[in-house]
Amino acid sequence: MIVQDRADIASAQRIVVKVGSSSISGEASWRIPMLVKALADAHRRGAEVLLVSSGAIATGMPFLDLASRPTDLATQQAAAAVGQNVLVYRYQEALRPFGITAGQILLTAGDFEDPTHRSNAQRALERLLDLRILPIVNENDTVATHEIRFGDNDRLAALVARLVSADALVLLSDIAHLYTRPPGEPGAEPLDVIAHDADLSALEFGSVVVNSVGTGGAATKVSAARLAAANGIGTLVTSADLVADALAGNHVGTWFAPAPSPASLGKLAQ
């Protein structure tokens, strides 16, 4: 179906939802059951839901006695190897009361560039959805290198949404809206709707930040949302705390309207 407005998310047939490390890791892990409840409600009405979840490295950090995100690649890979296992376990436990089974998909940027890998990933995701499994997608941090990383899972979510021809993409953040400038600055105003061809050059989105658990920022979400919208996928950016409202089609967040004539697929990693 064509999702022209955020209200249409309530009836969308295929939805990709992305959540960041800071929203579901450490002391914020209490949000996992809340997030899963919203996904399960959409699943129950018949929607096909895919979750792109960051958090492997952040989840693994306490098991390696790390107080902050490691900076060297080898320790990041080790933390991810431990954390991905725990993260998916937590999701599956939260899904259990709803009778939903999770399926884990780990991807690298190279998987989108290689036609065979891309086709295999697409086929696996499609089959999981056919079987009513909820795919949980993350970057394969244990094999990714600094040179070939996505850089953030917002972009990964946009690429996954395009790969499976999703009807809508929901990017969950720490704030309810995007703003005309960083929300802590004077004159910052929330953005409601952004047209697919809008000129955003006058707006000031925060650059990528690296906090104690993950990477990301408003700029990465804008870039990912515009990528998805250019391919005909309406995208909502809002707070993780508002995920239930987002999936119910309520008027929350910042909506990136889809382009009426989606861009050519081209190379999916571009």
Alpha helices by DSSP H, listed for the chain, are 21-24, 31-44, 56-60, 73-95, 109-113, 115-130, 153-163, 218-230, 243-247
Question: Is residue 6 within 8 Å of residue 236, measured between CB atoms?
Answer: yes
Annotation-wise, does 221 bind a ligand?
A: no
Q: What is the DSSP track for 142-197?
A: TT--TTT--SSHHHHHHHHHHHTT-SEEEEEESSSS-BSS-TTSTT--B--EE-TT
């005309």: which residue's tokens?
Answer: 180
Element (H, E) at 235: strand 234-239
For the chain, give the number of residues.
Answer: 270
Annotation-wise, does 245 bind a ligand?
A: no
Annotation-wise, does 11 bind a ligand?
A: no
Annotation-wise, does 65 bind a ligand?
A: no
Tokens of 22: 């800071």
Annotation-wise, does 173 bind a ligand?
A: yes
CA distance 48 to 69: 33
- In what order do the strands lie in the sheet containing 48-53? 102-107, 134-139, 48-53, 14-19, 168-173, 234-239, 254-256, 193-194
Residues in binding site:
18, 54, 141, 153, 173-174
Residues in binding site for ATP:
18, 173-174
Residues in binding site for substrate:
54, 141, 153
